[in-house]
């Protein structure tokens, strides 16, 4: 045990443990403070358990529609206890593996709630630990709305992951990534779902084309979508919850999921009191190297303003560890980080939306390749498409790729290389994509943008 490690990290989520592992690889002594379990929200209450539920929902959809493929199968019901057991076992296997990595990297884990004490010091109970460098990685927490009390049949995503009943009617308050994913899961498991979103469209951070594609697909699945609709109040009893919107309309449901976003966990841990500057929303203010206002104190992950993505925090953790070790890692640009919404259909994107590209580059060119022309997409029975955004009306690199359809999240790896390496449409058009794969849709879209479409009109 050392009270003066080379690198002290407050928070053991994706950003925190990635920073710890990389710092240890680079020969630093590392102490990691975590009040719950290493792995944080992503492993225990976010990415992994929700995607396990997504997969269970996919299986339910597959069985439900098996007859359309000539397969005799019927969905006899959902064993929610069994679904939770599968989800929990997945999380537990990954957690055991992570614990093994912590041990192999010889990282000291201090269990307890840390409080920043100024400089590079954190207090955990009676213990005071001072690192040569300090990394703040306290993550995010679910948010609610004023006057809306969580409990009973009013849930956040945390409670939804373990709720023991399968609802027949659900209202999802919030049409962002979390809201859309849970809406999709519950619809696949047989619930009648209504999404209430105050903004004009779903997944508002995505390109408007993607929002329209997703909205059309979810409505086709029977999900009711109320955009431009503000929440007014919710009243619950033992078995139901009544949700009223600003117009006065009321929706009766078994559950209300509050999915209005996540906020940074920066309050009441001593940051502002000891000189760490926060912005008006509570995010830690950092420079391009993720340094805070305090010398040798860094911040990574969801407490840094920007997309709240586990893989963003993970990469920032590596970046900071390498910076502390005296290396010169390339700065991380948020727009170059891939994004996936794991609904049915999926939404995947990287780079700039069309509006953002026009703002930054002026003239742009776009093309949409419809998945109706893609053989593998027809086999899967999915609709959607690939939209490309190029800087410049007649020439310039691809600066944004936006995809909607089943399994398109698996295409985001190639898409991120195209955008981050500044590839031109004709360069990608010369690449050979295996047939029949959905990756061909990426190739066809670039052929179209290069002016040589083969399986689309242009």
User: What's the CA gap between 404 and 407, in Å, rounded?
Assistant: 9
Q: Which of 458, 456, 446, 457 shows the shortest CA–CA distance to 403?
A: 446
Token digits of residue 191: 């619930």
Q: Residue 446 catalytic?
A: no
Q: In whole angstroms, give the CA distance from residue 152 to residue 150.
A: 7
Do 411 and 387 touch, CB atoms closer than 8 A?
A: no
Collapsing DSSP to helix, strand or coil, 221 comes out as: coil
Residue written as tokens 């240890």?
24
Q: In angstroms, rounded to a whole number, what is the distance separating the alpha carbons of residues 170 and 225?
A: 12
- Residue whose token pair is 């959905």: 438
Pairing of strands 346-351, 192-196: unpaired
Laid out side by side, the sheet with 250-253 consists of: 231-236, 241-245, 250-253
Q: Work out the end-to-end distance of the chain between its first and last CA atoms, rounded to an integer number of angstroms.
A: 66
HSE-CB for 393 with a 13 A CA cutoff: 2
Structural contact between residues 314 and 27, judged by C-beta atoms closer than 8 angstroms: no
What is the spatial distance between Cα 5 and Cα 41, in angstroms, rounded to a whole number? 25
- What is the number of helices (H) and of strands (E) in the chain? 13, 23
Q: Are 334 and 306 in contact (CB under 8 A)?
A: yes
Measured in degrees and rounded to the nearest 5, phi and psi for residue 75 equal -90, 105
Give the pairing of strands 154-155 and 255-258: parallel
E-assigned strand segments in 104-254: 108-111, 114-116, 121-124, 127-130, 133-136, 140-142, 154-155, 169-173, 192-196, 224-226, 231-236, 241-245, 250-253
Please, are residues 83 and 89 in contact by the beta-carbon 8 Å criterion?
Answer: no
Query: Is residue 380 exposed (0-12), middle (13-18) or buried (19+ Cβ within 10 Å)?
Result: middle
Closest CA to 336 of 438, 412, 445, 435: 412
User: Which of 55, 361, 435, 446 is an active site residue?
Assistant: 435
C-beta of residue 141 within 8 angstroms of C-beta of residue 11: no
Query: Active-site residues: which are they?
Result: 435
């Amino acid at each position: 045990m050392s009270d003066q490690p080379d690198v002290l990290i407050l928070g053991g989520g994706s950003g925190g443990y990635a920073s710890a592992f990389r710092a240890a690889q680079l020969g630093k002594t590392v102490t990691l403070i975590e009040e719950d379990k290493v792995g944080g929200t992503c492993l225990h209450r976010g990415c992994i358990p929700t995607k396990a539920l997504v997969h269970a929902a996919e299986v339910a959809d597959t069985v439900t529609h098996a007859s359309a493929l000539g397969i005799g199968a019927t969905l006899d019901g959902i064993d929610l206890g069994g679904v939770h057991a599968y989800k929990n076992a997945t999380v537990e296997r990954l957690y055991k593996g992570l614990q093994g990595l912590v041990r192999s990297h010889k990282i000291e884990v201090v269990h307890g709630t840390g409080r920043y004490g100024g400089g590079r010091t954190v207090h955990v109970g009676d213990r005071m630990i001072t690192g040569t460098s300090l990394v703040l990685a306290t993550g995010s927490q679910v948010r609610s709305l004023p006057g809306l009390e969580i409990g009973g049949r009013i849930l956040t995503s945390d409670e939804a992951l373990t709720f023991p009943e399968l609802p027949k009617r659900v209202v999802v308050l919030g049409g962002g990534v979390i809201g859309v994913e849970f809406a999709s899961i519950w619809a696949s498991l047989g619930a009648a779902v209504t999404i209430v979103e105050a903004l004009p469209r779903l997944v508002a951070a995505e390109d408007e084309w993607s929002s329209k594609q997703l909205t059309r697909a979810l409505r086709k699945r029977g999900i009711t979508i109320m955009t431009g609709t503000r929440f007014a109040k919710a009243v619950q009893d033992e078995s139901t919850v009544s949700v009223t919107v600003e117009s006065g309309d009321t929706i009766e449901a078994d559950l209300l999921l509050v999915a209005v976003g996540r906020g940074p966990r920066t309050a009441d841990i001593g940051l502002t009191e000891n000189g760490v500057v926060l912005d008006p929303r509570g995010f830690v203010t950092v420079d391009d190297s993720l340094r805070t206002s305090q010398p040798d104190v860094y911040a990574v992950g969801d407490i840094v303003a920007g997309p709240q993505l586990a893989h963003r925090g993970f990469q920032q953790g590596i970046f900071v560890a390498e910076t502390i070790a005296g290396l010169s890692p390339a700065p991380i640009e948020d727009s170059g980080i891939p994004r996936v919404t794991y609904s049915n259909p999926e939404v995947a994107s990287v780079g700039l939306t069309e509006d953002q590209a026009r703002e930054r580059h002026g003239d742009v060119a776009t093309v949409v390749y419809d998945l109706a022309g893609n053989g593998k997409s027809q086999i899967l029975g999915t609709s959607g498409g690939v939209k490309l955004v190029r800087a410049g009306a007649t020439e310039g690199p691809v600066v944004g790729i936006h995809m909607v359809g089943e399994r398109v999240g698996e295409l985001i790896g190639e898409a991120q290389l195209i955008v981050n390496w500044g590839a031109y449409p004709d360069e990608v058009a010369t690449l050979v994509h295996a047939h029949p794969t959905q990756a061909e849709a990426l190739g066809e879209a670039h052929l179209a943008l290069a002016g040589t479409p083969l399986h689309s009109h242009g």
